[in-house]
Structure 1
Amino acid sequence: MGMRNHEVVVVTGASAGVGRAIVREFAKTNARIGLLARGVDGLEAARREVEAAGGQALVLPTDVSDADAVERAASAVEEAFGPIDIWVNNAMVSVFSPAHLMTPAEFKRVTEVTYLGYVYGTLAALRRMRPRDRGVIVQVGSALAYRSIPLQSAYCAAKHAVMGFSEALFTELLHDGSNVRLCIVQLPAVNTPQFDWVLSRLPRRPQPVPPIFQPEVAAEAVVFAAHQDRRELYLGFSTVKAIAAERIAPRLADRYVAHMGYDAQQTDEPAHPDRKNNLWAPVPGDHGAHGAFDARARPWSAQFWLSKHRELVAAGVVVAGSLLGLSIAQRKRSARRSVFRAVFH
């Protein structure tokens, strides 16, 4: 689907982190955006940013684990702005903890938000897009949908579930000949505020597993995917390597993440004793898009540039291959002439 003026977009988890950056990226096109999240402070700040950029925004405080609430939000967006063109599922919660120390309620909560929230958002979008036979649903995924790591069992499981659900939906849309499009964007580690508010039982302060990317890189990838005919988009060489390792040598990958996964997810600082978490309720305040790792976060991804320009890159490879082949052929001909001259001089 090509970009149209004043696209109508819904973003879940819009108040902070990657979701906030996605909202800002869509706002550059003067989109009309439905903002879904629990944190009202962040939603209101996001609305002001959208309006300052020339777009329009509707604040819809929503817990995506409530299917009825998601449906009401979708109706409110269409009543205010018209048919939804793009729906981005992004809301998440997590727990940093060994699995054996987690409670059943914690597993349930992460599953309800990070997996079922995607299902409910997708269903709300499909109810509106299928009859119109147009629209795009973007699932914000993770390399952890392929390669799980220790201390995030509930989150990794939810991302695996999103992948399984989406793959099934791909086939159903193909079977029906539907023009509704679905894309999954698999993210690397991103510098977001979640590492300061995710429920954690770690002795040290949580961090994203390096290499770390700025949320704007993820947002650019999501907006790009929403306007391209891609089934799946990987962001960052680290994502590509994690997925490849799982496919090629899963037992070796198990040993690697078992060895490095604990330290890689923690800084050297001790955990704050009064740390707040957002598992059951949002942490008050406007937390923006960035976390505490700006000094270590990358503002650009070479892999994404190559993916975004893959046709150009492929053409360059063909040309280079042709020139290389020509060069080899020329050298062979020159060598044959030299031999001929040496023999028949």
Structure 2
Amino acid sequence: MPQTVVVTGASAGIGRATARLLARRGANITLVARGRAGLDAAAREVAELGGRPLVQEADTADPQQVESVADATEETFGPIDVWINCAFTSVFAPFDEITPEEYQRVTEVTYLGFVNGTRTALQRMLPREQGTIVQVGSALGERAVPLQSAYCGAKHAVDGFTSSVRVELLRRRSNVHITIAQMPAVNTPQFSWVRSRLPRHPQPVPPIYQPEVAARGVLHAADHPRRKQYYVGATTLATIWANRLAPAVLDRYLVRTAFHAQQTDSPPPQGPDNLFSPADAPPGDDYGAHGVFDDRSHSHSWQAALARHPAVSTAAVGAGLVAAAACARHRIRGGLGVS
């Protein structure tokens, strides 16, 4: 029997790349987002790759819309096996330049959207004692950076919320699982459609990974959900361990580097942002999975590849810690890469 999977944020970026990988498995995939152009293009890709798509235009900040997504999924495909929370939005600006309405919107989508998806999935999975929820997280959920306070706050909240729910499920000895895939800097369209008050075009801080690297991490987490979290990319490990081992040093380093490192030399985007309305709503275009940084992005991560093989998991952990320490030393001197 094919799996039935709900993917929020499926019209672009990591969600879009994840849907493609699921389609190659022949999965039934409910594609959830606000933008119709991206959803329709994603549905065509899923069908061409061997999956069965169901398009659902929905705002995950609205719990009733999320409930409707779940109802439509189970009416079409049957019980939901995996729910992947990936939808988010953000504002690039110093905190005092973000309005209360903007801050609320980022929090509603990037944090409460995950809460709504998790609640809806659990209401259906717990009575059956079967199912998996994957949160697409970020290294910024543990190590915040300047100019992204709303996003970092929401990702920190997702980490805390998910840890709490996970322990509740463990106490119940439930066969329903929840886990997080923590991401590095990823080449997604968000940097072209994010609301920004920066003087130049925002960018992910190198090294940058392609969305397919992130998607493979998401699928691995879905297939092996008993671990609390998975790290995708050596820079994710480096960021988290540097923050745990030397947070004050990292603060001073970010003061020196993080402001210019999150911007290119190009002028800011001129198109519509996606904070309150989807950027790919008609007559908008399909943005696809990739952003504008293909020429600078890595299509593979040795750390993530090692972590997907249980036979070498011990080696992966050891190698990851060594890499994290080395990367931390390197980053303190010259660069920190996270999404």
Q: Please indicate, yes or no, whether the TM-score normalized by the shorter chain is above 0.5.
A: yes
- Alpha-carbon contact 1:149-1:258 (below 8 Å) kept: no
Encode CA deviations 1:188-245: one digit per residue, 9 max, x unaligned.
Answer: 0000011000000000111101110000000011011101132210011110011001
Other-structure match for 1:61: 57
Q: Is structure 2 residue 188 aligned with structure 1 residue 164?
A: no
Task: Name which of structure 1's ranges 200-209 and 228-237 shifts more when overlaid on structure 2.
Answer: 228-237
- Alpha-carbon contact 1:217-1:301 (below 8 Å) kept: yes
Alpha-carbon distance, 1:315 to partner: 7.1
Give the 3 Å change call, closer, same or farther, for CA 313–161 of structure 1 in structure 2.
Answer: closer
Counterpart pick for 2:237 among 234, 240, 246:
240
Give the 3 Å change call, closer, same or farther, for CA 316–39 of structure 1 in structure 2.
Answer: closer
Runs of 4+ in 1 over 6 A off after TM superposition: 315-318
- Alpha-carbon contact 2:40-2:55 (below 8 Å) kept: yes
Q: Write the letter of the residue equivalent to 1:117.
A: G
Give the 3 Å change call, closer, same or farther, for CA 281–316 of structure 1 in structure 2.
Answer: closer
Other-structure match for 2:44: 48
SS of 1:189's equivalent in the other structure is: coil
Within 5 Å, give how 1:29-178 maps onto structure 2: 29-178=25-174
Alpha-carbon distance, 1:312 to partner: 2.4
Encode CA deviations 1:75-117: one digit per residue, 9 max, x unaligned.
Answer: 1000000000000000000000000111001110000000000
Other-structure match for 1:184: 180
Q: Is structure 2 residue 251 aligned with structure 1 residue 254?
A: yes
Question: In 2, Cα distance between the equivalents of 1:125 and 1:317?
Answer: 31
SS of 1:20's equivalent in the other structure is: helix
Q: Is structure 2 residue 16 aligned with structure 1 residue 20?
A: yes
Q: Is structure 2 residue 286 aligned with structure 1 residue 286?
A: yes
Q: Write the letter of the residue equivalent to 2:45.
A: E
Alpha-carbon distance, 1:162 to partner: 0.1
- Alpha-carbon contact 2:163-2:228 (below 8 Å) kept: no
Question: In 2, Cα distance between the equivalents of 1:261 and 1:208?
Answer: 11
Question: In 1, Cα distance between the equivalents of 2:305 and 2:45?
Answer: 27
Q: Write the letter of the residue equivalent to 1:67.
A: P
Other-structure match for 2:314: 314
SS of 1:109's equivalent in the other structure is: helix
- Please, which runs of 5 or more residues in structure 1 have no aligned partner? 319-345
Give the 3 Å change call, closer, same or farther, for CA 317–249 of structure 1 in structure 2.
Answer: closer
Alpha-carbon distance, 1:309 to partner: 2.3
Encode CA deviations 1:21-71: one digit per residue, 9 max, x unaligned.
Answer: 010010010000011100011111111111111111110000000000000
Q: Write the letter of the residue equivalent to 1:22.
A: T
TM-score (norm 1): 0.89
Other-structure match for 1:331: none
User: Percent of aligned positions with the same letter in both sequences?
Assistant: 54
Encode CA deviations 1:247-306: one digit per residue, 9 max, x unaligned.
Answer: 11111111111211111110111224x332000001122110000000000000011122
Q: Is structure 2 residue 204 aligned with structure 1 residue 208?
A: yes
SS of 1:191's equivalent in the other structure is: coil
SS of 2:274's equivalent in the other structure is: coil
Question: In 2, Cα distance between the equivalents of 1:201 and 1:265?
Answer: 12
SS of 2:18's equivalent in the other structure is: helix
- Alpha-carbon contact 2:303-2:316 (below 8 Å) kept: no
- Alpha-carbon contact 2:214-2:232 (below 8 Å) kept: yes
CA RMSD in angstroms comes to 1.4
Question: In 2, Cα distance between the equivalents of 1:316 and 1:189?
Answer: 20
Give the 3 Å change call, closer, same or farther, for CA 27–254 of structure 1 in structure 2.
Answer: same
Give the 3 Å change call, closer, same or farther, for CA 181–263 of structure 1 in structure 2.
Answer: same
Other-structure match for 1:326: none
SS of 1:49's equivalent in the other structure is: helix
Q: Write the letter of the residue equivalent to 1:224.
A: H
Question: In 2, Cα distance between the equivalents of 1:19 and 1:152?
Answer: 21
Other-structure match for 2:6: 10
Give the 3 Å change call, closer, same or farther, for CA 179–316 of structure 1 in structure 2.
Answer: closer
Counterpart pick for 1:231 among 228, 231, 246:
228
Alpha-carbon distance, 1:311 to partner: 2.8
SS of 1:33's equivalent in the other structure is: strand
Question: In 1, Cα distance between the equivalents of 2:87 and 2:206?
Answer: 22
User: Which of the two has higher C-alpha Rg?
Assistant: 1
